[in-house]
Amino acid sequence: MSYKIEQNLETCIGCGSCSAVCSANWEMKEDGKAHPIKTVVEELSCNKQAEEICPVQCIKVIAQK
Ligand code: SF4
């Protein structure tokens, strides 16, 4: 099982919550927004917490076959 990590960058308000709970795959960039380090991961890891904590629901974790 792998997981696709999607983010609507336009919706991101740059709150930093995702990188706070999941610095392994989310980092804040110079544009003031968060960006995923990897967009396809083999392990869900903390990406689910990032999805859940995002106040504007712009992160989606999608299970792939
Ligand atoms: S939690 Fe959501 S709104 Fe906040 S920085 Fe991350 S992606 Fe952007």
pTM over 0.75: yes
Q: How far is the CA of 15 from the centre of ligand 1 (A)?
A: 5
Residue 55 backbone zone (phi > 0: left; psi -120 to 50: alpha; other: beta): alpha
Q: What percent of the chain shows pLDDT beyond 90?
A: 97
Residue 48 φ then ψ, to 5°? -65, -40
- Looking from the CA of residue 26, the nearest atom of ligand 1 is 6
Residue closest by Cα to atom 6 of ligand 1: 18
Q: What pLDDT is attached to residue 2?
A: 97
pLDDT in tens, 5-17: 999 999 999 999 9
Question: What structural domains does the chain harbor?
Answer: 2-64 (3.30.70.20)
Evaluate: CB of 5 within 6 angstroms of ligand 1.
Answer: no
Give residue 3 CA to ligand 1 midpoint distance, Å: 19
Residues 7, 58 contacting (CB under 8 angstroms): yes
